[in-house]
Amino acid sequence: MKHIITTIDAPEQALKVNIDGAVQGVGFRPFVYRLATKYTLRGYVCNTTGGVELWLEGEGKKAMVDELISHLPEHSRIDKVDIKGVTAEGYKEFRILTSSNLESGVPIMLPDLAPCSECLKEMTEPNNRRYLYPFINCTHCGPRYSIIENMPYDRPYTAMKGFEMCEECRREYEDEKDRRFHAQPIACPKCGPQLQLRDKDGQEITPPHLWEEVTARLKAGQIIGMLGVGGFQLLVDATQEEAVKRLRQRKGRDARPFAVMVPNISYGEKLGKLNKQERKLLLSYAAPIVLAERHPQTELAPAVCQFSRFVGLMLPSSPLHALLMKAWGKSLVVTSGNISGEPLCVSFEEAKKKLRGIADVFLTHNRPVLRPVDDSVVRVCAGKEMVLRRARGYAPLPVWHTGENTADILAYGAELKNTLCLSKNGVVIMSQHLGDMISSETVKHAQKTCQLLEETLNFSPELQVYDIHPDQTLKNIKHQTNPQVPSLYVQHHEAHVWACVAEHQVALPALGVAWDGVGYGDDGSIWGGEFFYLPENGKAKRIARIKPFRLIGGDRAAKHPARCALSLVLQCQKDCPEIEARLNNELGAERKAIEIMAKNGINSPWCSSMGRLFDAVAFLCGFRGEQGCEGHAAMYLEGLVQAKNDEREEAYKWHLTEGEIIEADWSEVLMGIERDVQNKVPVSHIARKFHESLVDLVRMLIQKAGLTRVALGGGCFQNAFLLEGLEQMTQHIGCELHVPEQIPCNDGGISFGQVVAANRYWQK
């Protein structure tokens, strides 16, 4: 996010500085205090609703502000700085004011922060009173969002309200020079939360050495249900194939890879290739899962990463995890403690009921989790840090400040990978990742999250925004809301591209390119390979799509890439004997029936989905059988493209046909692949040429539309090779390319795009 600095020149005897952003609960005020003392300034610092206010009198005030902005304390983030020259009041000293004049701002809730280096160090000092204490924290680190009951962020409004501070903790808490000054979750073994090891029936187990017991159980292949920061997690030894398989099978989990926690960065480097950006992300206070290219030969059991070229790595995200990893010393599968398709379990009572068939033993504690938060997922793609799942460590930091007085909007997001967005006074807060709105439990979880956010932010919407999909589950959410509040419906792919436009403040007009699996189009068909003209004012206009083909068997087609390939062959009505042979092999006797369905249009809706086109090409490049999980075939295809310094291949040809809107015809792409298969061209080249052809397609549309800026959106852009190709191409033709980074490019970003679209589309 950009800093906005406005300076108003006036008699500069004093400076009044207002800073908005993530500056509360991170030790910002003590930091300012120390800095002001260094410059012998007088005045104050206090919290406001949206940030902090500084009053500075004395010689070095400008230098002090410069130093503050250029050397921010760990974990803080500035969104906006407002500096005013004012008449001096004649303060005698510099003070931290605890009460503040709460204006009509938006309270900023901080995300949960991984332990800082000082706390980690104290935890290993035998003489420290918090030696080996799993709930150590300070003003710079520790739980935040997951323990907040209400705002302002103050101990009585957190999950810590039931723990009375001991004398020593209180002394630290009240001393403005202490590094635990106003650390709301402050605790120690004497007064704070405690760990418990429990069996499935809730009986407490009290071994002589807790961590020895835990690691012995892991070594024996047991699955441990542990209450982490944002809810329960399931842990299993990542080096034992049988144990990992047991977890997969008990959880009913599809082929999706499991994330792996490692004790430290250098251990992570043994498992995956890490560049500077990836290391930085792993070490960041958000401590997300970072998808890194996996080394082929490691200690990891094959069942951890399955088919994936990537390994999802994570460092300890709390002192509890740090103690666990110190005792364990190698890689550990860490996955969310839920039944597949349901939200995380957050209480032991819940875990005992739902996870008893999965976990062999529970490691739990008595600090309640008030807001369930999953681990976040980030991937560095073509040099961009793309947040793919925005949860612990990120949510609910504001994702956007419009800087304008816009309507207060509540946006409900997409059906899958759902998030919610609340926009108040132009500040947009995005909820944590909430999951797929296909089980009633997840819908309830979304409703509850929404209600909590509304209460905490003292928010009531003037406008509600929905996807245009007439889906029942989304209606369920709707029933909760006020029928008096007007509703607006925004098309899925428009939301995708508007999200990117807003994130990067892209100057308009621009070309929006939205490529994903499926989204409901405003003509009732399934979209997913769409191009938009994004005007300076008003609505997006769809100008092109890829030529539609049938999804034979509906959802079955998304599962089985051969069906997509067959659909293309039937549609283009040209001879492709090589592809036919492969299809017959794969589909066997089923083929006839599938073909009849397609020809008669039975359960075979039209789609223009780029995701399904990827699936079809993956099949043509050797992918067989059903997809083990979402994105499986596309990842396979991306994985085939190797060695980036190869000669550029001649790309397959797209044809643009004019009509009401432009149709990008893939027939020649298909025929090109047929020829290459005949000529025994290696599949890695075919995959590469397909990617190149997509870059070409975007170039053709840029030139056709006569635009010089492009904004991307949709899950297909989680593809490093495609992004690199687009970067090179746009640079070459002198065009700006914008890629979603902080806002998920997948459906997790839809709620934000809906807010942006609503701001443009809606008039009171």
Is the previous residue joined to 396 through a cis bond, with omega within 30 degrees of 0? yes
Computed over its alpha carbons, how large is the radius of gyration of the chain? 27
Of the pair 140, 689, the CB lying nearest Zn ion is at: 140
Of the pair 630, 747, the CB lying nearest Fe ion is at: 747
Of the candidate residues 45, 56, 109, 141, the single one contacting Zn ion (CB under 5 A): 141
Block residue for tokens 């699955």:
223
Which residue in the shown chain puts its C-beta closest to Fe ion?
A: 516
169 binds, among Fe ion, Zn ion, none (CB under 5 to 8 A by kind): Zn ion
Position 126: which residue type?
Answer: P
- We find the least distance from the C-beta atom of residue 713 to Zn ion, in angstroms, to be 37
**If binding is defined by CB under 5 A, does position 110 make contact with Zn ion?**
no
> Six-digit token pair at 4?
């906005």
- We find the least distance from the C-beta atom of residue 112 to Zn ion, in angstroms, to be 13
119 binds, among Zn ion, Fe ion, none (CB under 5 to 8 A by kind): Zn ion
Of the pair 169, 513, the CB lying nearest Zn ion is at: 169
> Six-digit token pair at 522?
């405003």
39 close to 63: Cβ distance less than 8 angstroms: yes
| Binding segment toward Zn ion, per CB under 5 A, in 161-169, 262-270, 684-692, 698-706 | 161-169
Phi/psi of residue 385, nearest 5 degrees: -90, 100
Nearest to 313 by CA among 259, 367, 353, 363: 259
Q: How far apart are CA 185 and CA 426, in angstroms?
A: 30
Compute the C-alpha angle 588/589/594, nearest 5°.
95
- We find the least distance from the C-beta atom of residue 397 to Fe ion, in angstroms, to be 23
**If binding is defined by CB under 5 A, does position 610 make contact with Zn ion?**
no
499 close to 524: Cβ distance less than 8 angstroms: no
Touching Fe ion, residues 460-519 (CB under 5 A) = 516, 519
**If binding is defined by CB under 5 A, does position 166 make contact with Zn ion?**
yes
Of the candidate residues 56, 68, 109, 138, the single one contacting Zn ion (CB under 5 A): 138
Of the pair 392, 445, the CB lying nearest Zn ion is at: 392
DSSP code, position 599 = H
Of the pair 407, 551, the CB lying nearest Fe ion is at: 551
166 binds, among Fe ion, Zn ion, none (CB under 5 to 8 A by kind): Zn ion
Binding mask 181-210 for Zn ion (x = CB under 5 A): -------x-xx-------------------
432 close to 445: Cβ distance less than 8 angstroms: no
755 close to 501: Cβ distance less than 8 angstroms: no
Phi/psi of residue 176, nearest 5 degrees: -70, -10
305 binds, among Zn ion, Fe ion, none (CB under 5 to 8 A by kind): none
Binding mask 565-594 for Fe ion (x = CB under 5 A): ------------------------------
375 binds, among Zn ion, Fe ion, none (CB under 5 to 8 A by kind): none
- We find the least distance from the C-beta atom of residue 19 to Zn ion, in angstroms, to be 22
Total binding residues for Fe ion by CB under 5 A? 3
In 571-727, the DSSP E strands lie at 606-607, 655-657, 662-665, 709-713
Binding mask 524-553 for Zn ion (x = CB under 5 A): ------------------------------
- We find the least distance from the C-beta atom of residue 754 to Fe ion, in angstroms, to be 12
| Binding segment toward Zn ion, per CB under 5 A, in 70-78, 116-124, 336-344, 569-577 | 116-124
- We find the least distance from the C-beta atom of residue 639 to Zn ion, in angstroms, to be 40
Contact partners, residue 246, CB within 8 Å, separation at least 6: 221, 223, 236
Of the pair 360, 530, the CB lying nearest Fe ion is at: 530
Of the candidate residues 61, 75, 80, 140, the single one contacting Zn ion (CB under 5 A): 140
Of the pair 48, 751, the CB lying nearest Fe ion is at: 751
Of the pair 20, 630, the CB lying nearest Fe ion is at: 630
Q: How far apart are CA 668 and CA 657, in angstroms?
A: 13
Compute the C-alpha angle 102/108/111, nearest 5°.
150
**If binding is defined by CB under 5 A, does position 630 make contact with Fe ion?**
no
Nearest to 141 by CA among 110, 172, 169: 110
Q: How far apart are CA 758 and CA 460, in angstroms?
A: 16
Q: Got the DSSP string for 127-163?
A: TSTTTT-TT--BTTBB--GGGB-SSS--GGGBTTTTS
Of the pair 392, 612, the CB lying nearest Zn ion is at: 392
**If binding is defined by CB under 5 A, does position 169 make contact with Zn ion?**
yes
| Binding segment toward Zn ion, per CB under 5 A, in 136-144, 396-404, 523-531, 666-674 | 136-144
Of the pair 319, 715, the CB lying nearest Zn ion is at: 319
Nearest to 141 by CA among 173, 113, 169: 113
Angle between helices 28-38 and 61-70 (to 10 degrees): 140
**If binding is defined by CB under 5 A, does position 747 make contact with Fe ion?**
yes
DSSP code, position 661 = S
For 133, 224, 439, 448, 751, the CA distances from 343, given in Å and listed in that order, are: 29, 18, 9, 12, 19
Angle between helices 683-705 and 720-733 (to 10 degrees): 40
What 3-state DSSP class applies to 464? strand
Of the pair 231, 713, the CB lying nearest Fe ion is at: 713
Three-class SS string for 716-737?
A: HHCCHHHHHHHHHHHHHHCCEE
Q: How far apart are CA 477 and CA 481, in angstroms?
A: 7
- We find the least distance from the C-beta atom of residue 172 to Zn ion, in angstroms, to be 8
| Binding segment toward Zn ion, per CB under 5 A, in 135-143, 309-317, 528-536, 568-576 | 135-143
For 311, 533, 650, 669, 675, the CA distances from 644, given in Å and listed in that order, are: 21, 32, 15, 22, 24
Of the candidate residues 19, 116, 506, 695, the single one contacting Zn ion (CB under 5 A): 116
148 binds, among Zn ion, Fe ion, none (CB under 5 to 8 A by kind): none
DSSP code, position 404 = S
670 binds, among Zn ion, Fe ion, none (CB under 5 to 8 A by kind): none
| Binding segment toward Zn ion, per CB under 5 A, in 114-122, 348-356, 629-637, 718-726 | 114-122
140 binds, among Fe ion, Zn ion, none (CB under 5 to 8 A by kind): Zn ion
- We find the least distance from the C-beta atom of residue 155 to Zn ion, in angstroms, to be 13
Residues that bind Zn ion (CB under 5 A): 116, 119, 138, 140-141, 166, 169, 188, 190-191
Residues that bind Fe ion (CB under 5 A): 516, 519, 747
